[in-house]
Amino acid sequence: MSETIAPNKVVAINYAVKTEDGQTLDQSKDGSPLNFIHGRGMLIPGLENALEGKKVGDSFTAEVKPEEAYGERHDGLIQTVPRNLFGENEVQPGMQFRASTDQGEQSVVIVEVKDDEVTVDGNHPLAGVNLNFDVEVIEVREATEQELEHGHVHTDGEDH
């Protein structure tokens, strides 16, 4: 009898994730499924919820709304800062930096560069985006004690 996906099970899936307009954002590579311990927050909540109760051999699609993925966009996370905060670093739109904020370290993307100021966006690049997943469940098994302690899957008998 095939095990069903539930918290603390090791799961292997093949997947592709696309935007609503069909742009492929990510996918598992041939022969290299994504392995994870279910219920540990390793996946976005919407995909983890869609996997709950599935079995090996199940194939399905799941539409995940922003609130169950990377959240909605927040205009307050877009701000203009002095160019000198970047020191001598080259700064161009699309570049990513780590910024120290009142809430701790945060990734920001450069949106616009002017002579003396830079506009940065602290939203996740996929914030506000509906995601469509095509998923095939490859494996479901009990996690070992060691995997549960370490918080990740050990493949092919390897520890680290």
Residue burial 107-146, b: 16+ Cβ < 10 Å; e: rest: ebbbeeeeeeebbbbbbbebbbbebbbebbbbebeebeee
Q: Could you tell me if 3 and 141 are in contact, meaning their C-beta atoms sit under 8 angstroms apart?
A: yes
Helix (H, G, I), strand (E, B) or coil at 55: strand
Per the listing, tokens 């995601």 go with: 131
> Would you state the pLDDT for residue 22?
94
**pLDDT tens-digit readout, 137-152:** 999 999 999 999 998 8
Average pLDDT of the chain, as a whole number: 92
Q: Could you tell me if 66 and 76 are in contact, meaning their C-beta atoms sit under 8 angstroms apart?
A: no
**Residue 159 reports pLDDT greater than 70:** no
> Would you state the pLDDT for residue 23?
95
Give 32 or 158, the one with higher predicted confidence: 32
Residues in the chain, overall count: 160
**pLDDT tens-digit readout, 83-138:** 998 888 889 999 998 887 777 888 899 999 999 999 999 999 999 999 999 999 99
Alpha carbons within 13 angstroms on the beta-carbon side of residue 158 total 3
> Would you state the pLDDT for residue 157?
53
> Would you state the pLDDT for residue 47?
97
Whole-angstrom CA distances from 28 to 15, 44, 79, 148, 152 are 6, 16, 35, 23, 18
Tell me the average pLDDT across 7-15: 96
Residue type, 111: V
